[in-house]
Every structure is written in structure tokens, then in C-alpha cells.
């Protein structure tokens, strides 16, 4: 029994790590631009397919493929910012709808380029850590380590650098930030790059573990929505805590009951938060 619990805990930590990468990116984009990026799950998918293309098809080393995924998806983010969110800056609903359009285009591009079937990727890193009968593969360990590293880096970036300060200023009050001479265009571009590339790197790192399909973004975006609502929209630390909370609840319910029940539990959790405290567990101010 302890083995199962330990194993489930490890699984939950793994799920929490990549989901918090995705959710933090989504929150960052919302915080700075005020737009919910519906295509975020497809950015994750694009990261995974970068690995399929470079590592599986072209035999580049895995880590280079991951770095390329990060850069490529970050550039996709800049493209979205430039062509969609910037012209629609005063129309957040329009931005959301445009991102749905972008989602369809990315999905179709993946279908046309790689087909609808699952892409299987040979595991780039073999071996596993055994811990009191529970198993953690190095591949999963890599995801966890990368998530901790990237999120710590992002935290330091936002707290310590000038651009990070400017970004938080934009998130608090865009007009006031612009009055201080902060370039909104520059800050939103950087935020979009970081937000998208976090999703991309999550997709790239987990690609060998999940067998990418063009439609993998759907379940990811649903989970990410749950996490950002539970953590409070626009609240970065809240997103990480909510990701951990959600991952544990979901993984344990899946292990001991059923996957569909776990999905229902997650959604009901989100609805409860929306009804009782719409600002999320950690959100303080109203933003609607």
C-alpha cells in the first residue's frame, strides 16, 4: 500500500511540474495582456511536435530539440501577440476568440504535417530511480527538474530584473505603467514569448512520455483553466500551488477510482471555487 501511495505521489509531482509550467505561462499572458489564450494547449502541442520533428525524424539530440521547441513556440507566441493580441488590445473577448481561431490553425497544421495518429517517440533517456519500491524514470525526473529550474528562473526574473519589474507593473496597471515610460509593446512581446515558450518546453519535455496527437491540447487547456481559476486568474504563485493541489487530487482519484471521475472532481472543484471565491484561493482583487 505504501508503495502505491508513494508511486502515486511521484506521479502527482510529475503532473504538477509540467502543468504548472503551462498554467504559469497562461497566467503570465493573462496578467500582462488581460487576454485568456485559448490556444495555449496548442502551443504545448506545438512544443511536443517540435521534438517529434527534430528528435524523432531528423535525429537531433533530445535536448537540442527541446531548446528548439522552446524557441519555436516562443516565436509562435510573438506572432500571436503581434498579429492578434496587439490589434485587439482593447477588446479582450476579441483576443480570446482570435486565439480560438489560432488554435484551429495550429491543430490543422499539425494534422497536415504529421497526421492524426499518435506519434511515438523512442525514449531519449533510459533508466530510472527506485525509491522504496516506487519508480521514477529519468525522463520524468528531467521534467520535474526542468520545471523547478524554469519556474525559479522566472520568479527571479520577475523580482530582480528591470524588465521583470516593468512586467509586473503592466500587470497591475497598464496605463500607469505606460505613463512611466514602459513600452507596452515590448513588455507584452516579452511576456508572450515567455508564456508561450513555457508551454512549448512543457510539451517538448513530455513528448516522449505522452505520445503527441494534434488534439492533445484540449485536455491540457481544460486542466490549465481549472488551475488558473483555482489559483486565482493573474496570480503566478497561486497557479503553482493550484497545479500541485490539482495534480495530487486528480492523480489520486485516478489511481483509486477512475479517470473520468477524476476529471469530474477537478471541474467541480473549479466550479466550487468560482461560486464561493471567484478570485481564486489566492487572488485578492477583482479582475473581470
Chain centre to alpha carbon of residue 80:
16
By beta-carbon proximity to other proteins, the closer residue of 7 and 213 is 213
Around Cβ 96, how many Cβ atoms within 10 Å?
17
**Residue 272: all three cell numbers together:** 466550487
Nearest approach in angstroms of CB 44 to other proteins is: 16
By beta-carbon proximity to other proteins, the closer residue of 96 and 184 is 96
Nearest approach in angstroms of CB 228 to other proteins is: 9
Write out the residues near other proteins by the rule CB under 8 A.
36, 83-84, 87-88, 92-94, 96-98, 100-105, 107-109, 111-112, 218, 222, 225-226, 229, 233, 258, 260-261, 263-264, 267-268, 270-271, 274-275, 278, 288
By beta-carbon proximity to other proteins, the closer residue of 6 and 96 is 96
By beta-carbon proximity to other proteins, the closer residue of 145 and 261 is 261
Nearest approach in angstroms of CB 264 to other proteins is: 5
Nearest approach in angstroms of CB 215 to other proteins is: 9
Please give the angle made by the CA atoms of 281, 14 and 214, to the nearest 5 degrees: 95
Nearest approach in angstroms of CB 258 to other proteins is: 7
Chain centre to alpha carbon of residue 274:
21
By beta-carbon proximity to other proteins, the closer residue of 64 and 274 is 274
By beta-carbon proximity to other proteins, the closer residue of 168 and 218 is 218
d(CA 154, CA 151): 5
Nearest approach in angstroms of CB 214 to other proteins is: 10
Amino acid at each position: 500500500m505504501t508503495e502505491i501511495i508513494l508511486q502515486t505521489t511521484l506521479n502527482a509531482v510529475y503532473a504538477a511540474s509540467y502543468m504548472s509550467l503551462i498554467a504559469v505561462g497562461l497566467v503570465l499572458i493573462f496578467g500582462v495582456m488581460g487576454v485568456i489564450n485559448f490556444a495555449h494547449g496548442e502551443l504545448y502541442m506545438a512544443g511536443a511536435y517540435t521534438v517529434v520533428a527534430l528528435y524523432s525524424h531528423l535525429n537531433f539530440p533530445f535536448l537540442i530539440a527541446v531548446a528548439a521547441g522552446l524557441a519555436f513556440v516562443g516565436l509562435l507566441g510573438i506572432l500571436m501577440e503581434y498579429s492578434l493580441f496587439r490589434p485587439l488590445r482593447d477588446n479582450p473577448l476579441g483576443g480570446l476568440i482570435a486565439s480560438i481561431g489560432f488554435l484551429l490553425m495550429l491543430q490543422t497544421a499539425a494534422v497536415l504535417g504529421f497526421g492524426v495518429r499518435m506519434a511515438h517517440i523512442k525514449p531519449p533517456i533510459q533508466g530510472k530511480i527506485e525509491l522504496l519500491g516506487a519508480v521514477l524514470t529519468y525522463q520524468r525526473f528531467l521534467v520535474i527538474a526542468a520545471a523547478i529550474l524554469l519556474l525559479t528562473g522566472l520568479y527571479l526574473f520577475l523580482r530582480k530584473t528591470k524588465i521583470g519589474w516593468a512586467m509586473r507593473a503592466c500587470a497591475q496597471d497598464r496605463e500607469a505603467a505606460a505613463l512611466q515610460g514602459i513600452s507596452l509593446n515590448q513588455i507584452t512581446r516579452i511576456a508572450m514569448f515567455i508564456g508561450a515558450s513555457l508551454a512549448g518546453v512543457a510539451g517538448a519535455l513530455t513528448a516522449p512520455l505522452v505520445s503527441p496527437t494534434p488534439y492533445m491540447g484540449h485536455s491540457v487547456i481544460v486542466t490549465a483553466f481549472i488551475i488558473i481559476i483555482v489559483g486565482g486568474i493573474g496570480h503566478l504563485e497561486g497557479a503553482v500551488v493550484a497545479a500541485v493541489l490539482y495534480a495530487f487530487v486528480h492523480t489520486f482519484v485516478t489511481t483509486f477510482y477512475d479517470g473520468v471521475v477524476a476529471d469530474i472532481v477537478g471541474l467541480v472543484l473549479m466550479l466550487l471555487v468560482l461560486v464561493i471565491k471567484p478570485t481564486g484561493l489566492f487572488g485578492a482583487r477583482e479582475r473581470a
